[in-house]
Chain A
Amino acid sequence: MWTDASIKLIKENFIAAAVPTEVQDAKGPEGEFLRDAGIKKHWVTSSGYMSCVSASGKLLGGAPSAKVLEGFDKLPKDEREPGAVTVPDLKPAEKVIPSPPEGGLILKVHGRFMSRDDEGQLRAIKGDDFPQIRGKESSIRSHQFLFEPNTEYMWLTKEEWQSLVPAKPVKGDKLPVASAISERMARFHLSPRRALTSEDGIVAKKDIKEAKLTLVIDDVSPQRIRLLLVGFVHHGSDYDNDKATSPNGPLGFGYETPIHGVLEYDRKKEAFVRFDIVAPGEVWGRWGDANGKSQTIERPGRSPIGFAFELATGDSPTDRLPPAGNGGRALRAGYFGASK
Chain B
Amino acid sequence: MKYQRLAAVAVLMAAWAGPIRADEPKPLPDDQFDKLHQLIKPQAGESRWMEIHWYPNIWEARQKAAKEGKPLFIWAGSGGAPAAGC
| Residues of A bordering B, CB below 8 Å | 1-3, 7, 10-11, 13-21, 23-24, 29-30, 33-34, 39, 43, 45-56, 60, 63-64, 68-69, 72, 80-87, 89-90, 95-97, 99, 110-112, 114, 117, 120-124, 126, 144-146, 148-152, 196-201, 212, 214, 216, 218, 228, 230-232, 256-260, 262, 276, 278, 280-282, 302, 304, 306-308, 310, 316-318, 320-322, 324-326, 329
- Known contacts A96-B57, A308-B41, A329-B80; is-contact A198 B69 (Cβ 8 Å): no
Chain B interface residue number, banded = 35 or more
Closest Cβ of chain B to A108, distance in Å, is 9
CB–CB A325/B67 < 8 A: no
Residues in B neighbouring A196, C-beta threshold 8 A: 86
**B16 close to A122 (CB less than 8 A):** yes
Is A318 touching B83 in the complex (CB atoms < 8 A)?
yes
Between A and B, 22 residue pairs with Cβ closer than 8 Å are: A2-B49, A7-B51, A16-B72, A17-B60, A18-B75, A20-B79, A23-B57, A34-B58, A47-B78, A49-B75, A49-B76, A50-B75, A54-B65, A87-B66, A122-B10, A123-B6, A151-B42, A151-B47, A230-B22, A278-B37, A280-B36, A320-B56
Q: Is the interface of A mostly helix, strand, loop or mixed?
A: mixed
Contact between A308 and B81 (Cβ–Cβ < 8 Å)? no
Kindly state the separation between the CA atoms of A68 and B70 in the bound complex, as whole angstroms: 11
Provide the bound-state CA to CA distance between A226 and B71, in Å.
46
- Cβ-closest chain B residue relative to A86: B66
Q: Which residues on the A side are within 8 Å of B20 (C-beta)?
A: 232, 258
- Nearest chain A CB to B13 CB, angstrom units: 5
Question: Within the complex, what minimum Cβ distance (angstroms) separates B53 from chain A?
Answer: 5
Determine which of A33, A47, A82, A304 lies in contact with B58 in the assembled complex, contact meaning CB atoms within 8 Å: A33
Q: Using Cβ atoms and an 8 Å threshold, which residues of chain A touch B22?
A: 212, 214, 230-232, 258-259
User: Which of A64, A126, A152 is the one whose CB lies under 8 Å from B84?
Assistant: A152
Q: Are A87 and B59 within 8 A (Cβ)?
A: yes
Please state if B56 and A216 are interface contacts (CB–CB under 8 Å): no
Q: Note all chain B residues with C-beta closer than 8 A to A49.
A: 74-76
Query: With the chains together, A212 CA to B22 CA distance in Å?
Result: 8
Report A-chain residues with C-beta under 8 Å of the C-beta of B50: 151, 318
Point out the residues of chain A lying under 8 angstroms from B69, CB to CB.
Answer: 80-84
Which one, B7, B55, B80, contacts A324 given CB within 8 A? B80
